[in-house]
Structure 1
Amino acid sequence: MTNWLPDLSEGHGPLYQRLADQIETAIASGALAVGDKLPPQRNLAFDIGVTIGTVGRAYTIVRQRGLVSGEVGRGTYVLDKPESRPPEQADPLTTSLAGTRPINAPAGKLRFDSTAAPDVGQGPVLEEIVGRITRDHPGEIASYTRNFPDHWFEAGTRWMSRNGFRPAAADIVPTLGAHAAIISVISAVTSPGDRIAFETLSYSPVSRAAGLVGRRSVLVEMDGEGMIPDDFERVCAQQHPKLVFLMPSAQNPTAGVMSLERRQALADIARTHGVWIVEDDLYGSMVNDGRPLIAEFTPERTFVVSGLSKSVAAGVRGGWVACPPNFANRIRVAHKMVTGGLPFLLAELCARLILTGAAEELRARATAEIGEREALARTLLAGQDFVSLPRLPFLWLKLPDPWLSGTFKQAALEAGVLVDDEDEFKAGRTERTFHRIRIGFSSADNRGDVVRGISSLRQLLDSGRLGYDSFA
């Protein structure tokens, strides 16, 4: 039996969570070796001054993480080759903000680090609809939103329906954008300490926000299509995530699109292991992906998220969740707790945009403009190794030797262009290096700026070691 004792003055969260995290850290560091027997619960509770219930909850958590095995009459032993990683000991807010891009672009720089919808004349459309809302509903605008009219749900159903996916209005929850929708689902169906599975590269603000509310990220290997089913199966068996976040119809940042077979395989694995799925479909309708959504394979455990930010207008904060049956009220309550509530003006604006057909018209304009910009980028980067799709507002560029992702990002900044390096999209700590950057071209003011910005990046790429050394 080991003489190891934890120090519960370190860490975050309730005592049982701190104890579980310290056991995991000790196993990862070797302080608790394979085969070591953990102290009996009653003894450990006495030694560290907590209740036996606290120790019991902690032991249950580490057993669920696949780190130990417990046998009645024999005790609890460290298992061979645990796959878990030690928890971060940094302040959760610091960890969640690490690596994020600057909020305000430096003056005079071209911003190619955003994928918000381009300006295609949204202003006059929004002005006219907002004016009508203020005339029609002055009382609702002046107060809190207490009632959700039926047409808000109907709008969500219409916007999110595509291919064979047709969510019922009763299963729709309007939200303050797609990000708020995702965090609301995470808050509603997982608990602090639970693991959430992400592809190695993903929309990392979700993993950072999840960490801020006490969830733990676990990475799953990926290829050009996205998450690899065999590795997802391994992670489910060894680390027992409660939820997986996926973008099968246009992965951000890799622009990968999952095959039908892979969607089915991931759905089957999630069902077998009881894992909830958040399917981010923000880009799906933009790229005309005709494959079935993962939700069509496992509707009982998949939350589909979409919104208006990439194809209509990011500033209106329009988003929706299509929930499994009987989950809408739970997500709606969680969304209110997480965000403070849905403003009537924005929710009504988004619903009217959709139900009048204005959103569909703006999406058609936006995707047409994005298509023109993607064609320009494809021409300007001819001969380089990159992945792009005709209606997707970004591309994923492989950097030639000797460029490193972070070094190129700094060189691009010096050249007047903001881009995202690969670290911006890592959902957790990983030793994998991709030597890639994401170039988002939808937020440039016009096509001329697209040409200027990508031409500057091309000049850096062509400069080879001279450009690299200039900014090392």
Structure 2
Amino acid sequence: MKANDDERLRRLRELYEESGAPCRYQRVAEALEVSIRQGVFRPGDALPTQRALAARLNVTTGTATHGYAEAAKRGLVTGVTGRGSFVSAAGSDVDVMPPPAPLPPATAWPDGRDRAPVSFNEESSDGHCRNLGFIAPFENLNPSLHDALCRMMTRMDARAMAELQSYHRPAGMERHREAGALWARRYGVPVSGRDLLVCAGSQHALMTLLTTLCTPGDRLAVETLSYPLLRQLSWRLRLPLVPIRTDACGMLPDALENACRSGGVKAVYLMPSCRNPTLTRMPESRRKELVEVCRRHDVLIIEDDVYALAINAQPAPPFAELAPERTCFVAATSEILGGGLRVAYLCPPQHTLEELERTISYTISMVPPLMAELAAQWITDGTAERTLMAKREEAAARNALARNILDGFPLMSRNSGFFCWLHLPEAWTGRKIASEARKRGVIVAEGEHFQMGHSTAEHGVRLALGGVSSREELARALGIIREILES
């Protein structure tokens, strides 16, 4: 039986008093979080007014307001103008928790048995659910791990293989770093092997940067819609996010300037060539304007251009070339070589290398050398480049399919990107579309999931093109989206 409002407020008071958070507003947010986790409040429930909460907790209304704002940053509550605050509806952890991984249908087990294809589709009430929520870039086109291991055993003697079982310096083995430099240059970053670190994927690289170069309380500037994992990391590391307004070219330099003038902005996070989720591409002129702002205020630039290689377009110079003294570039491999290959190359300013390497040693000791060896082999023997071309070709076909099926709707699409962004009319929200689509067996990523802080939500959904096993399945899923929009 659901507790009445008075009992809920009483429970919130107990949780507030039990909280060990250092500030009162953080204790308010923590009490709200625990109460939601315990089921005192459920998704969609109206929360007490800030005045009522302040009176019960014996705090100022300003503290209660600040506590609600902190809870909103954590994705717990949503404010509706004129109506109050509500517990956020549970959303899928797109970009954070992947669906079950597929197996390439044309691959055999080592004993010769063919293995049946496994799709990304989750079970639903009709037995078939098509996942367009998680970006899984055509995993069936990943290079063969079996073939790679066979080649490795052929070219390496027993001593060299045994070397992969030993401890090495946290930055990575020399040949692995040299391969990383080749891969970083593919992104347009002029770097040598001695100037980078081997990380266990781009998320690990990002975590290494934030824990090393930022301290609790530092502010992190982000675009209004951005990588959802960043919101989770910033909350856990106590790095407040500062949403910066954007236009069709990306982050606005004047808006970043104003945020920096208010103080405390330590770093800015950017995905300049293909922003997740809107595919915005930042031109060279905008990049140079942002560099000038960051130089004036001594702000670090974190450049996470994970989807840049998927876009078959004339590249703009990376921030790592425009401002190497303050840019940390992350060169990812997983989108091309496979999600299970957790290898990325972190290219930071030279004066930070030693400290960042020390953080790697304190956390994971080093990236498993076997994984780094596989990535290096695929990069140096041309497999990575061939796989990239194959994925671009498949992505181009699926983007064309999406543009055809959703013709007449405001769809943002690239020639060869891994996802599309569908703008929605004001009458629709991303969550509403996502809810209707799920009922019909299609998972999409609602725009609200990418919202940073109290920024105004853009009405839209992201449609990942590689999470279904075939173009036919993608066409069915996109047809369902069209039916929902037309209804």
With the length of structure 1 as denominator, give the TM-score of the two structures: 0.76
Q: Cα offset for 1:10?
A: 4.9
Q: Deviations over 1:239-280 (max 9, x none)?
A: 421011001111111111112111011111011111101011
Cα RMSD of the aligned pairs, angstroms, is: 3.2
Q: Which amino acid aligns with 1:127?
A: H
Over 3 Å counting, the alpha-carbon distance change for 1:230 and 1:166 in structure 2 is: same
Q: Following the alignment from structure 1 to structure 2, what is the Cα–Cα distance between the partners of residues 201 and 280? A: 14
Give unmatched runs, 5+ long, in structure 1: 1-6, 23-28, 31-83, 464-472
Q: Deviations over 1:380-423 (max 9, x none)?
A: 11110021111111111012353221011011111111100012
Q: Cα offset for 1:141?
A: 4.7
Over 3 Å counting, the alpha-carbon distance change for 1:340 and 1:116 in structure 2 is: farther
Over 3 Å counting, the alpha-carbon distance change for 1:113 and 1:242 in structure 2 is: same
Q: Following the alignment from structure 2 to structure 1, what is the Cα–Cα distance between the partners of residues 257 and 67? A: 21
1:42-441 alignment runs, 5 A limit: 99-101=91-93, 103=97, 105=99, 106-107=122-123, 108-124=128-144, 126-133=145-152, 136=157, 137-146=160-169, 148-162=172-186, 165-287=189-311, 288-339=313-364, 341-400=366-425, 402-430=427-455, 432-441=456-465
Does the Cα contact within 8 Å between 1:311 and 1:367 map onto a contact in 2?
Answer: no
**SS of corresponding position for 1:243:** strand
Moved more, 276-285 or 154-163: 154-163
Q: Deviations over 1:48-69 (max 9, x none)?
A: xxxxxxxxxxxxxxxxxxxxxx
Q: Deviations over 1:117-152 (max 9, x none)?
A: 21344353x212234446654434545555732111
Over 3 Å counting, the alpha-carbon distance change for 1:234 and 1:458 in structure 2 is: same
Q: How many residues align?
A: 396
Q: Following the alignment from structure 2 to structure 1, what is the Cα–Cα distance between the partners of residues 433 and 137? A: 25
**SS of corresponding position for 2:344:** strand
Q: Cα offset for 1:375?
A: 0.7
Q: Which amino acid aligns with 2:474?
A: V
Tell me the equivalent position of 1:41. Answer: none
Q: Following the alignment from structure 2 to structure 1, what is the Cα–Cα distance between the partners of residues 68 and 19? A: 12
Does the Cα contact within 8 Å between 2:226 and 2:450 map onto a contact in 1?
Answer: yes
Q: Which of 471, 477, 485 is residue 453 of structure 1 equivalent to?
A: 477
Q: Following the alignment from structure 2 to structure 1, what is the Cα–Cα distance between the partners of residues 76 and 352? A: 31
Q: Following the alignment from structure 1 to structure 2, what is the Cα–Cα distance between the partners of residues 206 and 283? A: 16
Tell me the equivalent position of 2:5. Answer: none
Q: Cα offset for 1:211?
A: 1.5
Over 3 Å counting, the alpha-carbon distance change for 1:166 and 1:123 in structure 2 is: closer
Q: Which amino acid aligns with 2:452?
A: A
Q: Cα offset for 1:289?
A: 3.9
Q: Following the alignment from structure 1 to structure 2, what is the Cα–Cα distance between the partners of residues 167 and 123? A: 26
Does the Cα contact within 8 Å between 2:187 and 2:331 map onto a contact in 1?
Answer: no
Q: Which amino acid aligns with 2:238?
A: G
Over 3 Å counting, the alpha-carbon distance change for 1:200 and 1:104 in structure 2 is: closer
Q: Which amino acid aligns with 1:255?
A: L
Moved more, 158-167 or 295-304: 158-167
**SS of corresponding position for 1:443:** coil
Q: Following the alignment from structure 1 to structure 2, what is the Cα–Cα distance between the partners of residues 149 and 251? A: 32
Q: Cα offset for 1:237?
A: 0.7
1:18-37 alignment runs, 5 A limit: 18=23
Tell me the equivalent position of 2:109. Answer: none
Q: Deviations over 1:128-185 (max 9, x none)?
A: 2234446654434545555732111111111111475311222211111111111111
Tell me the equivalent position of 2:105. Answer: none
Q: Cα offset for 1:9?
A: 7.4
% identical equivalent positions:
28
With the length of structure 2 as denominator, give the TM-score of the two structures: 0.74
Q: Following the alignment from structure 1 to structure 2, what is the Cα–Cα distance between the partners of residues 272 and 228? A: 16
